[in-house]
A and B are shown apart, each in its own frame.
Chain A
Amino acid sequence: MPLNTTAAPPFLAVLVRGLLAGLIAGLLAGAFAYVAGEPHVEAAIAIEEAATHAEPAAGAHDHEDALVGRSGQRGGLFLATGLFGAAMGGLLATAYVLLSRRRRGDDDGRSGLLLAGGALLGAVIVPFVKYPANPPAVGDPATINQRTVTYLLMVVLGLVAVWAGSLGYRSVGAQAPTWLRAAGATGGFLLVTAVSYVVMPSFQEVPADFPATLLWSFRLASLGTQVVLWTGIGLLFAALMHHERRRRAGTALPST
């Protein structure tokens, strides 16, 4: 018996599942970041402190008499990824409900996964390629406001690029072969991404003596953290929604 006769679940039921999926995925991402990223953060802070001690006026912030010690910051990593994950899961759930109003029939479980994949591509990978994550000791404090604004703008443009991709997919038409629809999606996505990359300003602020291998390892760990987060949100949200659908189908149609 197909499940397409059940009514859509109420917004709150979807939201709670999104928040829960996000919280768990955030803690998983925190665990990944703790193992894969923290050693690189430590190494970068050591470089930052060496530079600060050599030239105290240049120090952006001092980690020694800081409000929160290094062990507190390592623990705070889980608070940060957990809260951020919950927020992202809730936003994904909201987008899911708003888009489900245009969906035909009931969800077969792909919508949540596609949304999470779209968010990973648009809100993480597209901005990361233009503005990769920086460890401590990299980045000029004088440009932090500019870099924050351009980063946020890049997140928005990345999501617009994904939306343009879905427009490209649909504009080709349902009768067209899959490869042609995929090509339409690629074209729409690449058009917006390429224009954004050209138009948005670049920042080259890596100190000349900062170890290239450390920078690479840190950036890989940072990207991995976001990949774990969004993969986790997608899979957990889809699983929780599947469970919810089965529960609702069970109460609506006790005969099945």
Chain B
Amino acid sequence: MSSSASSQPVVHPAGSARLMWTALATVAVLTLLAYLVAFDQGAVSRSGMYLHELMHDGRHLLGVPCH
């Protein structure tokens, strides 16, 4: 971990508020992607159970509760 007292914190050139919103949107999209792999049963992907079945082995071996 980086040590505590930071004399000169690196200020992002993009600007604080804009970066926070971009980061938040990115987290939302990536969480949705992880959800599609790990938990979705057709409600989000609109593919019925096809994607769910296709990624069945991946879910088991990634350690996600499956059935």
Contacts and interface: CB of A to CB of B under 8 A. Distances in A.
B44 interface: no
Main secondary structure of the interface of A (DSSP, over half): helix
Interface string A164-184: 001001100110000000000
Contacts of B54: 68, 72-73, 76, 79-80
A102 to B, nearest CB: 6
A101 B4 CA distance: 13
Contacts, number: 177
Given A83-B36, A91-B27, A114-B1, A225 B61 contact: yes
Interface of B: 1-14, 16, 19, 22-23, 26-27, 30-31, 33-34, 36-39, 48-50, 53-67
Interface of A: 7-8, 10-11, 15, 30, 33, 37-38, 41, 60-61, 66-68, 72-74, 76-81, 83-84, 86-88, 90-91, 94, 97-106, 111, 114, 124, 127-128, 131-136, 139, 141, 144, 147-148, 151, 166, 169-170, 173-174, 218, 221-223, 225-226, 229
